[in-house]
Amino acid sequence: MAWRCPELLAPAGDWECARAAVENGADAVYFGLERFNARLRAHNFTEADLPELMAYLHSRGVRGYVTFNTLVFADELASAERSLRAIVAAGVDAAIVQDIGVCRLIRQISPDFAIHASTQMTVTSAAGVDFVRELGCALVVLARECSLAEIAKIRTATAERPLPLEIFVHGALCVAYSGQCLTSEALGGRSANRGECAQACRLPYELVADGERVDLGERAYLLSPQDLAGIDLIPELLPAGLASLKIEGRLKSPEYVASVTRVYRQALDRAAAELEKTGPVDPASYYALEMAFSRGLSTGWLEGIDNQRLVHARYGKKRGVYLGEVLRVQEGTVELVLEAPLKPGDGVVFDGGRPDEPEQGGRVYMVEMHHSLARVGFGRGDIRWRRVQPGDKLWKTSDPELERRVRRSFAPGAAPFQRPVHLQVSGRPGEALVLEAQDESGRLVRVQSSLPLAEAHKHTLDTERLAEQLGRLGGTPFKLGALDNHIEGAVHLPVSELNRLRREVVERLIALRAEPLRWQSHPTPAAPRVNGEAPTLAEPELIALVRSFAQLDAVLDSGLRTVYCELEDVRQYRRAVERARAAGATLFVAPPRIAKMGEEWILSQVRASGADGYLVRNYDHLHYFASERCVGDFSLNVANPLAAKYLKERYALERLTASYDLNVAQLSALLAGAPPAWFEITIHQHMPLFHMEHCVFCAFLSEGTDHTNCGRPCERVEVQLRDRVGSAHPLKADAGCRNTLFNARAQSAAEYVQHLVGLGARYLRVEFLNDPPERVGTVLDSYRKLLAGQMSGSELWRELKLFNQLGVTRGQLPY
């Protein structure tokens, strides 16, 4: 059975990577510019590169997408608009976008320019697909955490109004939901939502359960998933109806791009041609993938949740191909049974399962085989042999011969990757021969001979002869696909004329393909400020978020009018509502941060509480609680007035929590760009760092794979993850069994509150995590004094440092 082959989308961090992708069979590439892209550490392209880059890609039949996939702050909208206009004018095929406000900005600039919803938008359900479609997106990149079964449910639920779906099929996996990770921002001021991820997930952590360190042996990289490799699932991905399969790696080398793209191109072509006869992936392909870059390969979440398999926790950096276990160590050599080929010149590393010690490795100088045993030698001084022991695992990290072979695929002068072209020939004796060429995208050119066709007595232009002559497309981006011969009668044309026609049709088709796309464009600039009601002059209101009944009672005793409640067991919300009503307070309850297909029962339980309102956190919540009082939470990533206006007006939200990516200057710009009464600002909290589908409780405190067989240790044990500097970060599970790791230290905006109030901020939130009830009352009383002018921000800051054993942090808030 034949299937429509999805687009193969490859990364391009620079020109060399773009050529590597094109020459190894990518249908499209994605790349970033100097700003507003989620991989600022890549070399990236400039706006001035766009015309040349797009002409190159299009001439080769390859689409190009710009990654405009970061949050954009209020004071950056004018700059973002200029960049977007350059992107539209250059004929880029689409922009991959995270920010809701940027989607609105693009539609102000151009009514038809294609928008792709980035995986940073955290779309996990049909409601998310509907949301981005209404926003104006032409395609959505689903969250990496979606399984094939969940993707099928999304397609079924959106069948009446389908939107093309894209998924990641290979590369590094973020342990946290993309667009929902605040770790780099909170701990180092480098926001993942701004392209500056510091990869804290790849560092070692200790597991602390009920205050005691858990001995996990050599497992220390508790948050570092194996890399994604969906190569074995290609036969299942084709009938899934996906529009695009995406390879991760804009920070990777051109050799990585070339190797991985070629492996998937070959697998897709094989599967599309004969799906039912496709056998297992050949070992050479696996070898190429592992040598390109690998922390271990798995299918990620595509086959469902398996917490034991996702994170092996032995290492967090590139390994490559496993060679075997060291049996004997002598000065200068080791002995082992090789499980993969090894030759002099290859690079290796020894893994001793001791993540706190430097690893040993280097180039192999000698490989001697004695039956099944290999003796491997190294150069003098390359290895510190006292750190290599029997039992260590040996990995091949470099294969120079393979790297040279891969580089030849995209080196200058290499044979270009060829795409099929459909030729049609027509004519009759006494008239010109007409040659039409159509590429895979439907572009059509027509040329005709300068000589008329003559009647032939021999060497007739039959289909075989035409294919032989016109199919000589070596050195061009084309290969002969179908050939339709509509010539009437027996005719002849000189070979030289056929060659000229072939050259002309190739040149004209390349030129046609290189022409930029023509998108519509509106000249009116976007307004940096949005309209709304006049700023309120009401007194600032303090709102508390609690995570236990003891905290709830303490807040109610303090007399606060509005309280938010977030409990792991959503069935307990009804009891929380009853307590708040009895105290005369308004209670909003919070559903879990992620919603997936089949989890509607959780939202039903939340609504059954009869709460006064809901703290909505995702697209499902916006739809499900549309008729209720709602406040948008920080996870909606509102960073600019355009995003705020769309969400507030489209979904009638009472207010929106400002993104946690904003510092005080950026918060100030947001309050200046839209009515301050629209916003709620969190001034005290333990910042949520990682929000994960990966369940640490299940993976390391049970032998189960998921919630069905883990025994639910999350209900019995208090867990923290201790980092390299000794901070023990609390870990919580929610009703969907997703984990959130919170910052050990509370973050306070005490020193900036009066400034924000002076700008019109009126809704200020204080969040509690594991705080005992006596501290809850004390903290709230102190912030009330601050708002009343009875205490300065610096005085409160010093007081908070005394309250909290670990002190407090300003986090990302300073200017």
Query: Is residue 529's pLDDT more than 70?
Result: no
Q: Is 659 exposed, middle or buried (0-12, 13-18, 19+ CB in 10 A)?
A: buried
Q: What is the pLDDT of residue 815?
A: 61
Q: How confident is the model at residue 525 (pLDDT cuts 50, 70, 90)?
A: low
- Residue 350 falls inside a structural domain: yes
CA 615 to chain centre: 25
Are both 556 and 582 inside the same structural domain? yes
Question: With pLDDT > 70 as the criterion, what percentage of the chain qualifies?
Answer: 97
Domains in the chain, number: 4
Q: Which candidate, 364, 407, 398, 174, places its Cα nearest to that of 292?
A: 398
Query: Is residue 71's pLDDT more than 80?
Result: yes
Which of 351, 379, 408 is a domain's end point?
Answer: 408
- Cα–Cα distance for residue pair 782/793, rounded to 1 Å: 10
DSSP 239: G
Contact assessment for residue 791 and residue 641, using Cβ atoms and an 8 Å cutoff: no
- Cα–Cα distance for residue pair 296/226, rounded to 1 Å: 5
Are both 672 and 784 inside the same structural domain? yes
Query: Is residue 22's pLDDT more than 90?
Result: yes
Least confident of 121-130, 309-318, 586-595, 729-738: 309-318
Which of 408, 434, 459 is a domain's end point?
Answer: 408
Are both 627 and 767 inside the same structural domain? yes
- Residue 96 falls inside a structural domain: yes
Q: How confident is the model at residue 39 (pLDDT cuts 50, 70, 90)?
A: confident
Are both 93 and 64 inside the same structural domain? yes
Q: What is the pLDDT of residue 1?
A: 39
Are both 377 and 504 inside the same structural domain? no
Are both 548 and 508 inside the same structural domain? no
Q: Which candidate, 239, 234, 165, places its Cα nearest to that of 1?
A: 239
Least confident of 65-74, 222-231, 265-274, 773-782: 265-274
Q: Which residues, in sequence order, are CB contacts of 273 under 8 Å at separation 6+?
A: 2
- Average pLDDT of 594-615? 96
Are both 428 and 402 inside the same structural domain? no
Q: What is the pLDDT of residue 750?
A: 94
Contact assessment for residue 681 and residue 667, using Cβ atoms and an 8 Å cutoff: yes
Q: What is the pLDDT of residue 536?
A: 53
How confident is the model over 186-220, as pLDDT tens digits? 887 777 778 778 889 999 999 999 999 999 998 99
For 475, the token pair is 């050195």
Q: What is the pLDDT of residue 586?
A: 97
- Residue 335 falls inside a structural domain: yes
The CATH number of the domain where 378 resides is what? Answer: 2.40.30
The CATH number of the domain where 103 resides is what? Answer: 3.20.20.380
Are both 573 and 653 inside the same structural domain? yes
- Cα–Cα distance for residue pair 656/662, rounded to 1 Å: 14
How confident is the model over 148-192, as pLDDT tens digits? 999 999 999 999 999 999 999 999 999 999 999 988 888 877 777
Residue 402 lies in domain: 320-408
Which of 514, 549, 564 is a domain's end point?
Answer: 514
Query: Is residue 585's pLDDT more than 60?
Result: yes
- Residue 527 falls inside a structural domain: no
- Cα–Cα distance for residue pair 264/8, rounded to 1 Å: 8
Q: What is the pLDDT of residue 198?
A: 82
Q: What is the pLDDT of residue 652?
A: 97
- Residue 57 falls inside a structural domain: yes
* Torsion 585-615-199-210 (CA) sign: positive
Query: Is residue 4's pLDDT more than 90?
Result: no
Are both 17 and 111 inside the same structural domain? yes
Are both 493 and 570 inside the same structural domain? no
Query: Is residue 327's pLDDT more than 60?
Result: yes
CB neighbours (10 Å) of residue 418? 18
How confident is the model over 121-148, as pLDDT tens digits? 999 999 999 999 999 999 999 999 999 9
Residue type, 747: Q
Are both 557 and 510 inside the same structural domain? no
Contact assessment for residue 815 and residue 756, using Cβ atoms and an 8 Å cutoff: no
Q: What is the pLDDT of residue 182?
A: 87
Q: Which candidate, 333, 1, 19, places its Cα nearest to that of 11?
A: 19
DSSP 92: -
- Residue 572 falls inside a structural domain: yes
- Cα–Cα distance for residue pair 608/624, rounded to 1 Å: 13
For 438, the token pair is 């159509």
Least confident of 445-459, 521-535, 542-556: 521-535
- Cα–Cα distance for residue pair 521/276, rounded to 1 Å: 46
The CATH number of the domain where 765 resides is what? Answer: 3.20.20.70
How confident is the model over 469-501, as pLDDT tens digits? 999 999 999 999 999 999 999 999 999 999 999
Per the prediction, the chain carries an average pLDDT of 92
* Torsion on CA atoms 392, 394, 397, 402, rounded to nearest 10: 180
- Cα–Cα distance for residue pair 469/480, rounded to 1 Å: 11
- Residue 368 falls inside a structural domain: yes
Contact assessment for residue 441 and residue 384, using Cβ atoms and an 8 Å cutoff: no
What pairs with residue 656 in β-bridges?
632, 679
Q: What is the pLDDT of residue 277?
A: 55
The three-class DSSP label of residue 748 is strand
- Cα–Cα distance for residue pair 12/22, rounded to 1 Å: 10
Q: What is the pLDDT of residue 538?
A: 78
Q: How confident is the model at residue 537 (pLDDT cuts 50, 70, 90)?
A: low
- Residue 220 falls inside a structural domain: no
Contact assessment for residue 710 and residue 702, using Cβ atoms and an 8 Å cutoff: yes
Are both 242 and 326 inside the same structural domain? no
